[in-house]
């Protein structure tokens, strides 16, 4: 990571409302974002993503902790002097102004010459494809157009940090894919440090240098997309990131000559000491129980010690999704070859040691990923 | 728009006409009365035909009320001026104090905020007469009896809660993020309030101001008790038309027409803003 632009240290947010129990929306959040880095904030609804952005922008006080941006402590500053811009979840265009003036008002307050303002507005409008509606009022354009106008407004101004709260949530996949590319170009070209919230993992993977996964107000893991996929820090990240989600089973562990995981009322996955290296065995330690996981893409079909009955088999045009009944749960396998199995058929499969994820059965923290123990 | 048949439209027209006649007839009748002499008004049966006279208005404007038993001085024009002064000043002050307060109550959740807002509203629950007795004692000690300042102060009891509560609702309907977008673009809290929040709540502020003006204008008891003749508004001044030699219906009618005019003019003027605000489209967002 290059120079640190944004540093969030031990930030908590507790909403207190009279007569209602307090809501602990963000818990001891620590996060460092490098200069020019693009970060995606991923997590289920209500996990504290918007709260985090609002604290950075200054619309909500931090309950405790500190935020530093571009070398300045900003968590007590007015929003106006923090040097951030934000695109809002609810668009929040100013109704009495046209789309053009909405995009321009941020630039005008920065006292830029009129010609430069016009040019920037046109550029941003072109970027998000709203040139034809520049002179319309927000009440007379569609939700998706409002969203794009709001995104253009947030991008138009120069800032130390760009906060984009679900900037493309309302758009159809085709347009989203196009805008994603243009947005990425813009952000990279100008080295714009940015944090964007999204529910779309493809978008997160395509745009972000690193992805922050949040749940229950807690930052679960903050890493690049590849690490998230291959070395999820805990069970939540493992099952939340990736499509279809990771298959996980509670199992009883037996460590002897071979290491075996007996899924409750189900198959046994067993590995020789050649397959599972010593440090993975060490990481497992004296555990009697563990949660094991395997990604759908890593389930090898057609051969191997285990068998399961097919529940459904879908060909999606470029891949097969095979759902099998394993220990009363569904286990999904994805194959790029077309698989002939029909529901009811028995299919043989195996899970390689290199594809095995092991998690602590109580805390859900990762124990090992494939052939290496999880660090930390 | 639903499709409506011709019959339906005709019936609707008739119903509307009936309502308009029902509500406007008294006003029209008073308007006609203001151009008649007392004898013409009181003749039986009443007739809409008469020779119009400007005598009533002349009497009001000159301040000389001529009755069968002699000439009386009345201060109608002064009363009218007092009404304008008291109502305008009261509403102006209530707006200056009430609009920022309404914004604070809508936006900032502070301790006791709800209680303070409710206390302000509760001023409207107490019957004015109940408030008046202690108030007039205080006013005598403070030297505020029979002053414009004292009256304007008391009129805040009428105007302030009204403005506070109506405008607060309008502020609450504006999405805070519209203001946030403006603030994060480098604008101060104050300029966001004046440039974004107030214009968006404009129709509400106009409506509240108009309503407060009408309530102040129509107030009777406060001025009756706390002020003497030369500070009293038209509502109190109208008592002068009940003279020893009878009630001067013609002058009363003319006085009503004159005293309704400012409120009516204001309402028509404010209506522009009300409509303009609505046609700007949804404020909620
Ligand atoms: N002003 C508020 N007062 C009280 N609770 C709030 C407030 N704003 C948010 N919350 C609560 O804080 C938690 C986090 O909310 P937040 O808006 O940050 O979620 P989010 O991750 O952005 O969700 P989404 O993906 O649905 O936008 C939620 O439980 C929410 O109900
Ligand atoms: Mg959100």
Radius of gyration, CA atoms only, chain A = 24
Q: At A295, phi and psi to the nearest 5?
A: -70, 145
Q: Chains A and B: how many Cβ contacts under 8 Å?
A: 82
Q: Which ligand is nearest to the CA of A87?
A: 2
Q: Which of A320-329, B106-115, B204-213 has the lowest mean pLDDT?
A: B106-115
Predicted ipTM > 0.90? no
Interchain proximity A96–B175, CB inside 8 Å? no
Q: What is the pLDDT of residues A180-203, one digit of tens each?
A: 999 999 999 999 999 999 999 999
Show me where the domains of chain B are located. 2-73, 76-280
Question: Which is nearest to B276 in space by CA: A95, A90, A93?
Answer: A95
Q: Is B197 on the interface with A (CB under 8 A)?
A: no
Residues with CB under 5 A from ligand 2 (ion): A 50
Cα–Cα distance for residue pair A22/A97, rounded to 1 Å: 38
**DSSP 8-state class, residue B197:** I
Q: How far is the CA of A23 from the centre of ligand 1 (A)?
A: 9
A323 by DSSP, 3-state: which?
strand
Nearest one of A282, A289, A291, A279 to A371, comparing CA atoms? A279
> Residue A249: beta bridge partners?
A292
B181/A153 CB distance under 8 A: yes
Contacts of B37 (CB under 8 A, 6+ apart): B53, B55, B250
Phi–psi pair at A203, nearest 5 degrees: -60, -45
Give the pLDDT score at B277: 53
**Residue B276: its pLDDT value, please?**
59
Query: Is A78–B188 a contact, with Cβ atoms under 8 angstroms apart?
Result: yes
Check whether B31 has a pLDDT greater than 50.
yes
> What's the A65 CA to ligand 2 centre distance in angstroms?
21
Which of the ligands is closest to the CA of residue A21? Answer: 1
The structural domains of chain A, with segments of one domain joined by +, span: 4-232, 240-373
Highest mean pLDDT: which range of A60-74, B126-140, B205-219, B236-250: A60-74
Could you tell me the distance, in angstroms and rounded to a whole number, from the CA of residue A50 to the centre of ligand 1? Answer: 7
Residues of chain A short of pLDDT 50, as ranges, are none
Quickly name the fold that domain B76-280 has.
MetI-like fold (1.10.3720)
The CATH number assigned to the domain with range A4-232 reads 3.40.50.300
- Measured from the CB, is residue A57 less than 6 Å from ligand 1? no
Chain A contact present for B281, CB below 8 A: yes
Q: In what order do the strands lie in the sheet with A329-335?
A: A329-335, A320-326, A299-315, A346-351
* A166 vs B227: which has the higher pLDDT: A166
Q: How far apart are CA A184 and CA B158, in angstroms?
A: 58
Distance in angstroms (rounded) separating the CA atoms of residues B83 and B60: 15
A98 Cβ closer than 6 Å to some ligand 1 atom: no
User: What pLDDT, on the 0 to 100 scale, is given for residue B108?
Assistant: 84
pLDDT the model gives residue B284: 38
Cα dihedral B186/B190/B191/B194 (nearest 10): 150
- Sole residue written with tokens 């285990």: A306
Q: Is the predicted pLDDT of residue B114 greater than 90, yes or no?
A: no
Window from A253-262, B106-115, B237-246 with minimum mean pLDDT:
B237-246
**Confidence (pTM):** 0.84
């Amino acid at each position: 990571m290059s120079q640190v632009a944004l540093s969030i240290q031990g930030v908590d947010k507790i909403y207190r409302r009279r007569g209602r129990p307090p809501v602990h929306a963000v818990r001891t959040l620590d996060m460092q974002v490098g200069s020019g880095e693009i970060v995606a904030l991923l997590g289920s609804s209500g996990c504290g993503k918007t709260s985090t952005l609002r604290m950075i922008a200054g619309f909500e006080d931090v309950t405790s902790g500190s935020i530093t941006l571009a070398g300045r402590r900003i968590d007590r500053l007015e929003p106006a002097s923090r040097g951030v811009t934000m695109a809002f979840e609810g668009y929040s265009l100013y109704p009495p102004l046209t789309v053009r003036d909405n995009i321009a008002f941020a630039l005008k307050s920065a006292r830029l010459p009129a010609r430069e303002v016009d040019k920037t507005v046109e550029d941003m409008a072109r970027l998000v494809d709203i040139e034809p509606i520049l002179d319309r009022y927000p009440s007379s354009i569609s939700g998706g157009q409002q969203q794009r106008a709001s995104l253009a407004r947030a991008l138009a101004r120069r800032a130390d940090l760009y906060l984009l709260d679900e900037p493309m949530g309302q758009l159809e996949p085709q347009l989203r894919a196009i805008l994603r590319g243009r947005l990425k170009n813009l952000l990279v070209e100008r080295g714009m440090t940015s944090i964007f919230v999204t529910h779309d993992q493809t978008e997160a993977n395509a745009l972000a240098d690193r992805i922050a996964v949040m749940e229950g107000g807690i930052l679960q893991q903050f890493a690049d997309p590849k690490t998230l996929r291959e070395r999820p820090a805990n069970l939540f990240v493992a099952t939340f990131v990736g499509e279809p989600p990771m298959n996980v089973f509670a199992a009883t562990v037996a460590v002897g000559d071979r290491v075996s995981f007996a899924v409750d009322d189900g198959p046994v996955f067993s590995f020789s000491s050649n397959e599972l290296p010593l440090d993975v065995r060490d990481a497992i330690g004296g555990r009697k129980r563990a949660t094991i996981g395997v990604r759908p893409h890593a389930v090898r079909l057609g051969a191997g010690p285990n068998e399961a009955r097919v529940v459904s088999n879908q060909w999606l045009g470029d891949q097969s999704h095979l759902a099998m009944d394993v220990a009363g749960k569904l286990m999904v396998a994805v194959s790029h070859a077309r698989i002939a199995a029909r529901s009811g058929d028995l299919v043989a499969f195996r899970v390689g040691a290199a594809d095995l994820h092991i998690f602590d059965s109580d805390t859900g923290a990762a124990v090992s990923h494939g052939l290496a123990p999880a660090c930390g | 728009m639903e499709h409506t048949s011709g019959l339906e439209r005709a019936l609707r027209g008739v119903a509307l006409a009936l309502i308009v006649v029902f509500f406007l007839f008294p006003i029209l009748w008073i308007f006609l009365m203001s151009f008649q002499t007392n004898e013409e008004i009181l003749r039986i049966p009443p007739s809409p035909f008469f020779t119009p006279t400007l005598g009533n208005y002349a009497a009001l404007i000159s301040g000389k009320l001529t009755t069968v038993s002699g000439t009386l001085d009345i201060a109608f024009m002064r009363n009218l001026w007092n009404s304008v002064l008291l109502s305008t000043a009261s509403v102006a002050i209530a707006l200056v104090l009430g609009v920022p307060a309404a914004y604070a109550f809508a936006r900032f959740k502070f301790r006791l905020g709800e209680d303070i807002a409710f206390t302000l509203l509760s001023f409207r629950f107490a019957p004015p007469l109940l408030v008046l007795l202690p108030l007039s004692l205080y006013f005598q000690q403070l030297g505020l009896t029979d002053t414009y300042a004292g009256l304007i102060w008391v009129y805040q009891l009428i105007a302030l809660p009204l403005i506070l509560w109506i405008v607060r609702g309008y502020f609450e309907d504006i999405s805070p993020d519209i203001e946030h977008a403006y603030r994060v673009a480098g604008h101060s809290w104050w300029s966001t309030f004046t440039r974004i929040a107030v214009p968006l709540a404009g129709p509400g502020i106009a409506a509240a101001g108009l309503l407060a003006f009408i309530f102040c204008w129509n107030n009777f008891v406060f001025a009756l008790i706390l002020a003497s003749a030369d500070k009293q508004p038209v509502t109190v001044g109208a008592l002068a038309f009940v003279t020893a030699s009878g009630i001067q219906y013609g002058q009363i009618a003319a006085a009503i027409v004159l005293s309704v005019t400012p409120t009516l003019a204001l309402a028509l003027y404010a209506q522009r803003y009300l409509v303009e605000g609505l046609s700007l489209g949804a404020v909620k967002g």
